[in-house]
């Protein structure tokens, strides 16, 4: 068995993935997503850019002949080469398992080792923006294998992250943690059965085993499909004997409270009840204030101050953004104008066909929203508001022009989360809108795929790619509109029934 630093990284994220990567039926893997291919290409380009900063030497050996690679690496270390790229470090465990690490860079430093008065320190080059625990675990893994080769363990390892930010890994802390993870990983890989399925949307969505695991979770009605059930909370629930959605729906808050707190317990039980009953349930702790303004003047700014307000106006704007994070570019500012006075629905795709056009579409956005100075601006999540602030700062928009704009923003996601519990697996826009019967015109397109489509547009000039992105963005705006209309109707009906009962 070969355990690599990549396998250890994936184990830290998901025990089941590491097991399937060795024993799984590869025919059940998902087709590699365009976004994953882009990440791999970006990661390679980032690594090459970092390595190009200073001269380095790579060991020469036949493809995937790791023993030859380790021998060639050792020879370079014995020669005292200053910087060794793509080194190969091998170690055999007592169980006959081979541990393999391929640090991006070994840097020569003063010290004592079997080579003389120098030693090497490992450096990992990662595309991430922050020093994630799994990155530091892998850096410590490289340091441990390096120590067996040079008979001296470095005190630190290094990470070079996106934008060439450098981070020091304190091995005194991370080596013991790495050894715990490695021991658990080896124990898992020596078992006969794969670890239990656990679906975590954020971590699972890009995994090539996702469809396979998700099908199993659905067939089992696994409790991890319930929003709010994190791995740590699942362990707490297991300890209490609560392992199904049905049992959670029947559990009292007081039973769960000592382990997970009263508020989380209340949310989880309500979520389970909504799922079992297959219907929306009102969160009784939060009664949003409904503002219904049908006159030509729309809403005043004061109407938006209450964070629980959900206004309805004669003109409403629905706002969604498509961005390219690597370019720090917001290239599409989509605005759907719902004009109840004229009974029109008009979508405005403010598109930067080239990165230099961002300033232009930003001004177009401001011109558009100020055509309707009293219209609320609905959006889903806080990204849109943060982007408005960023663009205003970037392009020197006077504060007096932005200050009256900000109170007009209404986060529909926040309103949903504070007002209702729904029988969905996720409170993402797609899950919520699809539960309500809304469908995107291009079913296979995602936000991450739009990043790839825009990159392809910049390279090829194929306008059909922009058309696809614009349709996706418009559907996001319309999905937000659909969700907001439903929420207003549900709250009016539910609260009306409540008042009638009283």
The alpha carbon torsion through 177, 179, 184, 188 (nearest 10 deg) reads 130
Q: Identify the H or E element spanning 98.
A: strand 98-101
- Over 455-480, what HEC string results? HHHHHHCCHHHHHHHHHHHHHHHHHH
Contact call for residues 318 and 477 (beta carbons, < 8 A): yes
- Helix axis angle for 66-79 and 133-150, nearest 10°, is 70
pLDDT tens figures, 97-126: 999 999 999 999 999 999 999 999 999 999
Q: Identify the H or E element spanning 238.
A: helix 231-239
Q: Which residue bears the tokens 């199993």?
A: 216
Q: How buried is residue 422: exposed, middle or buried, by Cβ count under 10 Å (0-12/13-18/19+)?
A: buried
Neighbours of 271 (CB within 10 A): 23
pLDDT tens figures, 379-416: 999 999 999 999 999 999 998 889 999 999 999 999 99
| pLDDT at position 307 over 70 | no
Find the mean pLDDT for residues 124-149.
96
The DSSP output letter for 208 is: T
Neighbours of 192 (CB within 10 A): 5
DSSP codes of every residue in 131-182: --HHHHHHHHHHHHHHHHHHT---SEEEEE-GGG-EEEEEHHHHHHHHHHHH
Rounded to an integer, what distance in angstroms lies between the CA atom of residue 69 and that of residue 58? 10
Rounded to an integer, what distance in angstroms lies between the CA atom of residue 15 and that of residue 212? 15
The DSSP output letter for 57 is: B
Q: What angle do CA 301, 306, 310 make, to 5 degrees?
A: 85
Contact call for residues 345 and 332 (beta carbons, < 8 A): no
Q: What angle do CA 368, 369, 370 make, to 5 degrees?
A: 90
Residue with the bigger pLDDT between 501 and 109: it is 109
Q: pLDDT at position 285, please?
A: 53
In the numeric block, which tokens belong to residue 325?
Answer: 């994070």
Rg (CA), the chain: 27
Rounded to an integer, what distance in angstroms lies between the CA atom of residue 467 and that of residue 158? 43
496 pLDDT band, cuts 50/70/90, is low
pLDDT tens figures, 207-229: 999 999 999 999 999 999 999 99
Helix (H, G, I), strand (E, B) or coil at 206: coil
- Over 323-359, what HEC string results? EEHHHCEEEEEEEEEEECCCCEEEEEEEECCCHHHHH
Terminal Cα distance for the chain, rounded: 68
pLDDT tens figures, 4-32: 999 999 999 999 999 999 999 999 999 98
Neighbours of 32 (CB within 10 A): 11
Q: How buried is residue 154: exposed, middle or buried, by Cβ count under 10 Å (0-12/13-18/19+)?
A: buried
In the numeric block, which tokens belong to residue 185?
Answer: 């990983």
Rounded to an integer, what distance in angstroms lies between the CA atom of residue 266 and that of residue 279? 17
Cα dist from 105 to 52, 101, 222, 424, whole Å = 12, 11, 42, 45
| pLDDT at position 292 over 60 | no
Contact call for residues 280 and 270 (beta carbons, < 8 A): no
Contact call for residues 424 and 435 (beta carbons, < 8 A): yes
Average pLDDT over the chain, rounded to an integer: 92
Whole-model pTM: value is 0.86
């Amino acid at each position: 068995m070969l355990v690599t630093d990549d396998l250890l990284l994936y184990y830290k994220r998901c025990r089941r993935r590491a097991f399937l990567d060795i024993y799984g039926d590869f025919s059940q893997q998902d087709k590699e997503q365009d976004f994953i291919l882009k990440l791999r290409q970006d990661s390679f380009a980032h690594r090459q850019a970092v390595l190009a900063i200073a001269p380095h030497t790579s060991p020469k050996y036949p493809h995937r002949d790791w023993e030859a690679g380790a021998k060639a690496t050792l020879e370079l270390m014995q020669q005292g080469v200053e910087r060794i790229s793509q080194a190969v470090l091998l170690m055999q465990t007592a169980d006959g398992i081979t541990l393999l690490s391929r640090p991006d860079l070994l840097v020569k430093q003063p010290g004592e080792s079997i080579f003389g008065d120098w030693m090497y320190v490992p450096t990992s080059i990662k595309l991430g923006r922050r020093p994630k625990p799994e990155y530091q675990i892998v850096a410590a893994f490289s340091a441990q294998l390096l120590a067996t080769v040079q008979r001296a363990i470095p005190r630190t390892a290094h990470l070079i992250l996106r934008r060439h930010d450098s981070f020091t890994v304190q091995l005194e802390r991370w080596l013991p943690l790495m050894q715990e993870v490695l021991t658990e990983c080896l124990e898992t890989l020596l078992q006969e059965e794969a670890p239990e399925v656990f679906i975590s949307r954020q971590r699972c969505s890009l995994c090539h085993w996702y469809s396979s695991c998700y099908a199993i979770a659905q067939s089992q009605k696994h409790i991890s499909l319930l929003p709010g059930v994190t791995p740590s909370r699942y362990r707490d629930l297991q300890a209490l004997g609560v392992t199904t959605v049905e049992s959670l729906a029947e559990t009292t808050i007081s039973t769960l409270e000592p382990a997970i707190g009263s508020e989380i317990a209340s949310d989880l039980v309500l979520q389970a009840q909504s799922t079992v009953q297959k219907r929306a349930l009102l969160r009784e702790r939060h009664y949003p204030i409904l503002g219904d303004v049908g006159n030509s003047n729309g809403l005043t700014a004061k109407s938006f101050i209450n964070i629980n307000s959900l206004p309805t106006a004669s003109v409403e704007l629905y706002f969604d953004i498509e961005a390219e994070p690597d370019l720090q570019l917001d290239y599409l500012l989509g605005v759907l104008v719902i004009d109840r006075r004229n009974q029109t629905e008009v979508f405005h795709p403010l598109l930067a066909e080239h990165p230099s056009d961002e300033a232009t579409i930003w001004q177009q956005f401001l011109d558009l929203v100020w055509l309707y100075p009293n219209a609320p601006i609905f959006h889903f999540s806080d990204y849109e508001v943060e982007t408005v602030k960023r663009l205003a700062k970037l392009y020197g928009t006077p504060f007096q022009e932005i200050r009256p704009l900000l109170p007009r923003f209404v986060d529909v996601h926040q309103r949903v989360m504070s007002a209702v519990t729904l029988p969905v697996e996720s409170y993402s826009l797609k899950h919520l809108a699809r539960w309500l019967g809304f469908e995107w015109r291009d079913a296979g397109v995602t936000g991450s795929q739009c990043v790839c489509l825009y990159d392809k547009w910049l390279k090829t000039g194929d306008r059909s790619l922009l058309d696809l992105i614009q349709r996706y963005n418009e559907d996001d705006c319309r999905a937000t509109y659909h969700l907001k209309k439903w929420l207003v109707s549900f709250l009016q009906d539910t609260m009306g029934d409540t008042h009638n009962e009283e």
